[in-house]
Structure 1
Amino acid sequence: MIDLEKDIQYVKGIGPKKAYKLNKLGIFTLKDLLFYFPRQFEDRNNLKKIAQLQNDEKATIKAIIVSVNTTSPKKGMTLTKIDIKDETGYAKLAFFNQPHIKNLYKCGDTILVFGKVKKEFKTIELSSCEIEHLTNDPKNTCKVMPIYPLTYGVTNKEIISIIKSVLNNEEIRIKEYLPQRIIEKYKLCSIDYAIRNIHNPTTKDALKIALYRIVFEEFLILQLGLFMFKNGTTEVDGIKFNRNEKLDNILDALPFKLTNAQNRALNEIIEDMESNKVMNRLVQGDVGSGKTVVALLALANCVLNGYQGALMAPTEILAEQHYISLSETLKPFGIEIELLVGSLTKKQKEKVLERVKNKEIDILIGTHALIEDKVEFNNLGIVITDEQHRFGVRQRSKLSEKGINPDILVMTATPIPRTLALILYGDLDISIIDELPPGRQPIETLAIDKGKRDKAYNSLVRREVEKGRQVYIVCPLVEESEAIEAKAATELVEELKLEYFSDLRVGLLHGKMKASEKDEIMKSFKNKEIDILVSTTVIEVGVNVPNATLMIIENAERFGLAQLHQLRGRVGRGSHKSYCILIYASKSEVCRQRMSIMEETNDGFKISEKDLEIRGPGEFFGTRQHGLPELKVANIFKHMKILKLAQQEARYIIGLDYKLQNNENKMLKREILTKFEHSVKEISLN
């Protein structure tokens, strides 16, 4: 049996050149290659007569070649046209820049063709064709064909050929790692059968059986890994807090009453804190629903019980905002709060670290700086991460390791559909704040095409500024790098100053700025020294400027729906009517659908459901969850029933053997550890 961890370069028929291309696709070992699954399947079994072909469909036909001609419509381009016929009619095939075709086929040859049909008047043409001579064993037609996610100069035919030659090697056997009990219980095929039939389906039924196995396994491994990762907090005793009577004094001192949803979330948190198990709770709430005050009260209860609290935010701006908010409310009650961020001087940091260690600080708020090794708490009782999807699994864990089984609270303003939350957070308890504080007006959203951009700037922006309000303008999303995004933002500012707003105060905020510069710009904007703030997505999270009433997002089609909703949530934070203008350039149907969703609803949960449907769970957060294995085949919408079965089985396994130490689970455990890479440090291999 060949070792599946073998370097791909040394697999027969591959070599250094092909290996280099495969490496670019993330394929480094033989196992990577075998588990590089198709993104979709094309049914080329649909054999039709020429007269039956419908416009825009993809179909396979059997025909005879009538003529073959190659021309050069323009310099550097060749067009090969083949006229074909069958007993029902005539058609044409078009091949761009494939001059070799004319040497492979001649008049009178019987061929099989798969392509996209274009019918105009009486002419039928097939483009993007796969063509081959008629044989008893066609390679590219008359079968279900896997279509792989490809870039970096590897063609679909090439990867099919490479995988086929590997699987034809009799020494290749993929060893089973699921317990036999699970295979029998859920009627799963073996992993070897699944891999062979996902890459080269013998029949449609064989493909169905293979996909069922892979989907079930992906959900099971993800869920088990998360349960195992979390078992350290659910199985051990935590701190038993009491609801301190002074907490009611803090509640009474708040300048507003909590909403019913906030009260419900707070009661769930306090109940967790009063139990002797470690709290592990996710608080979901839409933009502006008031999660921070709930976190503040949980931290206060912890401190009133004699412990320290930590609150980690993804950006310095947000950490500082939390620091100001908590200080205003809690310092009058003698609770000492401090900020630890990267922009502090060495001397300032050392002072904060010394005071935390000596328990002179009750609540420490900060960014990633909180998880540095130098940070030592005296008796950490609760750990809160805000906008937690910005942090990896390991980062969150590292913060909680600074105490002895502290309670854990994670917060997000990206409303996650409950199903996805269950996958991402295992068996986290979930609190949902689904009610906005009274007085908050819904934001009016309008999507316009690029042709109306001038009107938006010349009338809407000026109208708001003349009212004494302020405006955000968000730059198009650039994937390449933060540096390119910063350059694009700088160029947009120059264009806006030159063409539209030479008389207004325009500021700039982007990710390449130093933290101190970002803070300075945001302070100026908050203090109404800037009329228009041009920004990249660094303002997506947490920035609170009640006087900002208009948000314009350039090239809105480049953003995910959840991200657009997050950005929109930067306005409408005061008592004034607020607006969001989405400027789009794309004319696609998908773009039209997405813009309509944003215009129709301010409900983050509805938007997140749609975002998940359109973009899939892999990209849902913009940044993939660090350390979590990717769902390559499983889809939580299409495979909901299988997901529920896998979750049920994962709970059953963990209930009996939460460390997966029984013999039947050892192979499965190794697979989980491999898939989760280094994120599940707690799980040993013994």
Structure 2
Amino acid sequence: MKNSASEKKTGAVGLSSSVSSLKGVGAKKEEALASVGIRTVQDLLLWFPRKYLDRNLTENILLKQGESVTLILEILDSYLAHGRKTRLVVTAKTKNNEPVSLVFFKGVQYFRRVFHTGLLVAATGRLEYFRGFQLVHPDYEILSYGGNSELNTDDLPESIHVGRIIPLYPTTEALREEHLDSRGLRRLVFYSLETLKGKIPEILPKEVVSLRTFLDRESAFREIHFPSEEANLSKARTRFKYEELYYFNLLIEYKRSRRAKVPRILWPLPESQSAKEVVSKLPFQLTGDQTESLSKIGEWTRSDTPAAILLQGDVGSGKTLVALLTALRYTDNQVQVCMVAPTEILARQHYQTVLRFLGNMPFLGIELLVGKEPKKIRAEKLYRLKKAESYFVIGTHSLFQEDVEFKDLGLVVIDEQHKFGVEQRETLRAKGKNPDILAMTATPIPRTLCLTLYGDLELVTLKHKPAGRKPIQTRWFTDSRRNGVYNSIRKYVLQGRQCYIVYPLVEESEKSDLKSCIEAYETLQKDVFPEFSVGLLHGRLDAAEKDRVMNSFQKNEIQILVSTTVIEVGVDVPNASVMVIEHSDRFGISQLHQLRGRVGRGSHESFCILLSDSQVSEEAKVRIQALVDSEDGFLLSEIDLKLRGPGELLGVRQSGLPDFRIADLREDKDWIEISRDDAKKFGSIGDMEKNEISHRFAEGALLFSN
């Protein structure tokens, strides 16, 4: 970075210059700006407005009741008016000496301190008439703190604040303390643009700018901060949305190329005889999706370039079997495989499922590695992995630990992969010789999210469930129907079926939620279903107790399992045919769909009962009704995306979803597709490396799904 003092003297300020090179930015302002990530002039220009106010001035015309206006006002006085409700009345006058009052019913003491005699403000609102014209709780901007009886807006140096569409910027307490509220930031941005006139280079390929009819970059910066009209503001926003997505897609291509630079040593692998034997002994046929997925995965893993694949499948679509048949190609050829799951329950479930599919077949060693195992047993397992006496290990976060070593790790399978962080996934990859990655998710993800979140992965989708599974009937009842629900549970349990009753466990109220779950279990066991065996499962139980409860439920020794969302993913008990979800309005669509997927895994008719209070929010009604109307996880994920947005849908921290400044993955579907195609056609990795436009969001996202 150039010396900011010399830049101030010479005027040689550029996009990469420190913000301290700008006039008026001293050490304290520089520190305040750095606290929100603004370190360079380009960072400042990329600090886009959060919204805009149309403050084209209403002057030299007759004021009319009911009209929306923006007026330059000089504050004359203020007083408290008493009536049914005390209010602050701030008296003021326009340039033409017309009296207008500003009226505040809330925050009276605060506004009494803000508005003092001589203050010059721009006020925007709807004109009302009560003993004269007034604006009630107007939007306002302070223009000058000194009095000026001769108001002439043409002479105001702060004219960037009024008489136009003005930007309102996101700000913080630290910024405001240094007078960098919206007004202060406007002045700084305006000064930056004036300083950089003719010095902002174009960074998109000229073919793209021409093809997509974009504003040039300098014009786009001016229009997004100080729009001359609505149409140009829209063009500027589109330009920067595209720019962000375009360079993000270049990063994706960079990741692909970097991964391909390190060839594998152990390939190509021949077909697996064990996989063929497993398929021949299945009591059902593979679905068309499963067969096609295995073919695609086999093709991608035959070259010496490491493969990275996302296996996306709706609940009950058979992802675990596809992962196993893929893994057997490696283990048959003495190449090790590790499969990691987010919970111990799910890891044990995978372990048991794999053993069940393999039956009595001779196998080259399979291990289960979870937390809190006796030291001696764990040490023996680790020795077998290190010496390649075991070829397939299934485990939890314990697999990330330093003492877990492999001789020849060739495939890493990550189930519910968005629940793992970037560093954890990298830790696993580093334990092998540039292994293949097979990421799995049971959370159907809309295509636009896939293109951004997993753009560097080959996508394989399982949509259809195995033959013989009946649709799950979903019903929504309020608490008034609870006794009828209990009678239905009793009916199906007497027929030999089993039931889940799930309670929410929300982080903010975890203690009270867990207490209500335990209390409900005791009531159900003693008072409601004394004739049945009722079990309790939640995350606070130790591993041995969780295992005991799940084994008992799988053997039908427990008929009704009261649980928190610890059973959300992966638990497979084909005999369970009734799922009751308490307080269903507190769950998201994706979570409700995952929970529903715990039933309907056998040939029996299955039901999902959503219970809630009679009074729920409008959004909760939309979520619950969506579950009643559809069993299609991909359709539901689109609805969820519209309701909650991508960050909430997946959890930004876990998913690695980049923090886009302006692009919106819900609104900008078309530009996601277009920018992806353009990046492949017109872009080059060199563009990304030589331009600083990789931005901070992109730098952080570079490794997000390795």
TM-score range, shorter chain: 0.7 to 0.9
Q: Is residue 268–residue 302 contact of structure 2 (8 Å, CA) maintained in 1? A: yes
Aligned residues: 659
The equivalences for 1:480-559 within 5 A come to 480=508, 484-485=509-510, 487-496=511-520, 502-503=526-527, 504=529, 508-528=536-556, 533-559=561-587
What is the distance in 1 between the residues matched to 2:216 and 2:453? 27
**Mapping of 1:11-30 within 5 angstroms?**
23=35
Instruction: Report the CA distance shift for 1:609/1:105 in structure 2 as closer, same or farther (over 3 A).
Output: same
Q: Relative to structure 2, which stretch is displaced further, 64-73 or 95-104?
A: 64-73
The partner residue of 1:467 within 487, 492, 516 is: 492
Of 574, 580, 590, the residue aligned with 1:562 is 590
Deviates more, 1:467-476 or 1:353-362: 467-476
The residue that corresponds to 1:161 in the other structure is 183
CA distance in structure 2 between the partners assigned to 1:586 and 1:570 by the alignment: 27
8 Å contact 1:198–1:210 — kept in the other structure?
yes
* CA distance in structure 2 between the aligned counterparts of 1:412 and 1:559, rounded to whole angstroms: 19
Distance in 2 (CA, whole Å) between partners of 1:117 and 1:459 is 57
Aligned letter for 2:489?
E
**1:407 alignment partner, one of 412, 416, 436:** 436
Answer yes or no: is 1:638 the counterpart of 2:667.
yes
Two-structure CA RMSD over aligned residues (Å): 4.7
Structure 1 26/533 Cα, relative in aligned 2: closer, same or farther at 3 Å? farther
Q: Give unpaired runs (5+ residues) of structure 1.
A: none
Structure 1 length-normalised TM? 0.80
Structure 2 residue corresponding to 1:114, chosen from 115, 124, 127: 124
Q: Distance in 1 between matches of 2:237 and 2:616?
A: 34
More displaced 10-residue stretch of structure 1: 643-652 or 180-189: 180-189
Contact kept in structure 2, 1:598 and 1:607, CA below 8 Å? yes
1:7 to 1:179, Cα distance in 2 relative to 1, 3 A: closer
SS in 1 for 2:311: strand
Q: Which residue of 1 aligns with 2:10?
A: none
1:364 aligns with 2:390: no
More moved, 215-224 vs 142-151: 142-151
Secondary structure, aligned partner of 2:500: strand
Gaps of 5+ in 2: 1-12, 95-99, 144-150
- Paired residue type of 1:312: V
Aligned partner of 1:348 in structure 2 is 377
Q: Deviations over 1:395-437 (max 9, x none)?
A: 3343233332433222111111223212211242222111112
Larger radius of gyration: 2
Once the two structures are TM-superposed, the CA of residue 294 in structure 1 deviates from its matched residue by: 0.9
Moved more, 30-39 or 217-226: 30-39
1:365 is displaced (CA, Å) by 1.1
3-state secondary structure, aligned to 2:294: helix
Q: Is residue 561–residue 608 contact of structure 1 (8 Å, CA) maintained in 2?
A: yes
Match of 1:382 in 2: 411
Give the 3 Å change call, closer, same or farther, for CA 102–271 of structure 1 in structure 2. closer
Alignment match, 2:148: none
Provide the C-alpha distance between the structure 2 equivalents of 1:392 and 1:11, rounded to a whole number of angstroms. Answer: 42
Match of 2:342 among 305, 311, 314: 314
2:352 is matched with: 324
1:246/1:160 CA distance change after superposition, 3 Å: same
| Structure-2 residue corresponding to 1:37 | 48
Deviation at 1:320, TM superposition (A): 1.0
Q: Judging changes above 3 Å, is the alpha-carbon distance between structure 1 residues 260 and 627 closer, same or farther for their aligned structure 2 residues?
A: closer
Match of 1:417 in 2: 446
Q: Match for residue 244 of structure 2?
A: 218
8 A Cα contact 1:177 1:671, kept in partner: no
1:291 offset after TM fit, Å?
0.9
Structure 1, residues 253-275: CA drift from partner, whole Å, max 9, x if none? 11221112212212222233344
Once the two structures are superposed, residues 550-609 of structure 1 have per-residue CA deviations (whole angstroms, 9 ceiling, x without a partner) of 444455444432232222222333324211305268755433333322221110010111
Residues 455-497 of structure 1, C-alpha deviations (whole Å, 9 max, x = no match): 354331353145323222231533x4xxx42x13222125525
* Secondary structure at 1:430 match in 2: strand
Alignment match, 1:283: 311
User: 2:178 matched to 1:178?
Assistant: no
Could you tell me how far apart the structure 2 residues matched to 1:150 and 1:678 are? 24
Contact conserved, 1:475 with 1:488, CA < 8 A, in 2? no
- The superposition leaves residues 599-656 of structure 1 with CA deviations (integer Å, 9 ceiling, x where unpaired) of 21110010111212222223221344555521231123432332233212322367xx
Contact 1:508 1:533 in 2 (8 A): yes
8 A Cα contact 1:39 1:633, kept in partner: no
Query: What is the identity, as a one-letter code, of the residue corresponding to 1:366?
Result: G
Task: Tell whether 2:599 aligns with 1:571.
Answer: yes
Deviations 1:93-115 (A, max 9, x none): 444113464687799x9986434
- Shift of residue 296, structure 1, vs aligned partner: 0.9
How many angstroms does 1:299 deviate by? 0.9
Partner of 1:258: 286
Q: Which amino acid aligns with 1:324?
A: Q
Aligned mates of 1:266, 1:602 — CA distance in 2:
25
Deviations 1:73-101 (CA, angstroms, capped at 9, x unpaired): 89xx9632579999xxx999444113464
TM-score (norm 2): 0.78
Q: Deviations over 1:116-148 (max 9, x none)?
A: 8999xxx99855644779945677766445455
CA, structure 1 residues 492+139, in 2 after alignment: closer, same or farther (shift >3 Å)? farther
Q: Which amino acid aligns with 1:213?
A: R
- Partners in 1 of 2:484 and 2:26 — Cα distance? 62
* Distance of aligned partners of 1:241 and 1:673 in 2 relative to their CA distance in 1, 3 Å threshold: farther
How far residue 17 of structure 1 moved from its aligned partner, in angstroms, is: 10
Structure 1 residues 637 and 443: alpha-carbon distance in aligned structure 2, compared to 1, 3 A threshold = same
Give the letter for the 1:419 counterpart.
T
Q: Is the 8 A contact 1:445 1:582 kept in 2?
A: no
- Matched residue of 1:647: which SS? helix
